[in-house]
């Protein structure tokens, strides 16, 4: 069989889905809907948070009307510092060969990466900003703050952090590994709010980490089949 015939056979084999290693990951839905769905989803979270807050179920020491420029600047500073451990986890996730992370890597490579590979840096930043601000407004300011105030005392603080983190993880549930990861992140964000006294610090950390993570996810998509083959091969 000559070289031209080899090329023809390889082409047909590829068209027919010749083997699992040749199948590239596909998005879980049309990538062109990522930004509109993000706007819709995150906007809905703001409405829920403000509705809950209107009934007084929120962090009582964090009135939204009193947010000023100095608070935003301080929150950005501490939020940026708080992003460092999260980026350390991302590096650990990338390089660690632990089998326990395999399911999470498969979600990133096969389900998430194809959705974000064609987005611009501005779109990454917009999605990350919306996620950080809107989700922390709901899960930390409204839910954690409200539960903490409702239960009261030191027990209320722990209940607020853990319950809001659990709901946060369930809302991000794709598989067990992804759900557990987002739960742990929710606990971390909850601790940040309890320490800083404002939901803006975890909001900034959430925003910056999501921005870095989206770039990482898109890089996994554009780096070709090698990542896909590695994850399939274990």
The model's pLDDT over 126-150, given as tens digits with 9 standing for 90+, comes to: 999 999 999 999 999 999 999 999 9
Q: Is 4 exposed, middle or buried (0-12, 13-18, 19+ CB in 10 A)?
A: exposed
Q: Name which residue leads in pLDDT, 66 or 17.
A: 66
Asked if residue 16 is part of any domain, the answer here is no
Q: Name which residue leads in pLDDT, 227 or 191.
A: 191
Range 87-110 average pLDDT: 85
pLDDT at residue 1 in the model: 52
Q: What is the residue-averaged pLDDT of the chain?
A: 84
Q: Which of 94-103, 144-153, 210-219 has the highest mean pLDDT?
A: 144-153
Asked if residue 190 is part of any domain, the answer here is yes
Rounded to two decimals, the pTM is 0.81
pLDDT at residue 55 in the model: 93
Pinpoint the alpha helices (H) of the chain: 3-15, 34-54, 69-95, 102-106, 113-116, 121-136, 145-151, 153-171, 176-196, 200-222, 225-233
Please write the tens of the pLDDT for every residue from 27-77. 556 777 888 889 999 999 999 999 999 999 999 999 999 999 999 999 999
pLDDT at residue 157 in the model: 97
Range 183-188 average pLDDT: 97
> In the chain, pLDDT over 90 holds for what percent of residues?
60
Asked if residue 133 is part of any domain, the answer here is yes
Range 10-17 average pLDDT: 38
- Rounded CA-CA distance 67/64 in Å is 6
Asked if residue 200 is part of any domain, the answer here is yes
Asked if residue 94 is part of any domain, the answer here is yes
Asked if residue 113 is part of any domain, the answer here is yes
pLDDT at residue 14 in the model: 38
Asked if residue 223 is part of any domain, the answer here is yes
Yes or no: say if 24 and 228 are a contact pair by the CB < 8 Å rule: yes
Please write the tens of the pLDDT for every residue from 154-174. 999 999 999 999 999 999 888
Residue 222 in this model has a pLDDT that exceeds 90: no
- For the chain, give me the number of helices (H) and strands (E)? 11, 0
Q: Name which residue leads in pLDDT, 231 or 111.
A: 111
pLDDT at residue 228 in the model: 41
Asked if residue 151 is part of any domain, the answer here is yes
Range of the domain at 103: 28-233
- Rounded CA-CA distance 175/152 in Å is 33
pLDDT at residue 29 in the model: 60
Q: How many separate domains does the chain show?
A: 1
Yes or no: say if 177 and 104 are a contact pair by the CB < 8 Å rule: yes
Both tokens assigned to 69: 């420029």
Range 189-215 average pLDDT: 97
List of residues 6+ apart from 31 with CB closer than 8 A: 114, 115, 116, 117, 118, 119
CA dihedral 123, 128, 131, 132 (to 10 degrees): -150
DSSP 8-state symbol, 66:
G
Range 209-233 average pLDDT: 68
């Amino acid at each position: 069989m000559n070289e031209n015939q080899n090329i023809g056979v390889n082409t047909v084999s590829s068209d027919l889905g010749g083997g699992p290693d040749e199948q590239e990951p596909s998005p879980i839905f049309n990538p062109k809907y990522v930004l509109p769905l993000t706007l819709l989803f995150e906007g809905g979270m703001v409405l829920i948070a403000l509705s809950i807050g209107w009934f007084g179920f929120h962090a009582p020491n964090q009135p939204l009307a009193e947010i000023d420029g100095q608070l935003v600047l301080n929150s950005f500073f501490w939020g940026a510092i708080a992003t460092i451990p999260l980026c350390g986890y991302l590096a650990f996730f990338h390089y660690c060969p632990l089998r326990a992370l395999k399911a999470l890597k498969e979600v990133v490579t096969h389900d998430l990466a194809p959705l974000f590979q064609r987005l611009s840096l501005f779109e990454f930043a917009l999605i990350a900003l919306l996620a950080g601000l809107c989700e922390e407004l709901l899960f930390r300011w409204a839910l954690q703050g409200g539960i903490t105030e409702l239960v009261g005392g030191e027990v209320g603080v722990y209940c607020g952090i853990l319950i809001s983190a659990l709901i946060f993880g369930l809302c991000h549930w794709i598989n067990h590994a992804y759900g557990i990861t987002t739960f742990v992140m929710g606990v971390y964000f909850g601790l940040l709010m309890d320490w800083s006294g404002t939901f803006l610090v975890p909001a900034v950390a959430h925003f910056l980490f999501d921005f870095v993570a989206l770039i990482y996810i898109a890089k996994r998509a554009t780096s070709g089949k090698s990542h896909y083959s590695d994850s399939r091969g274990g």
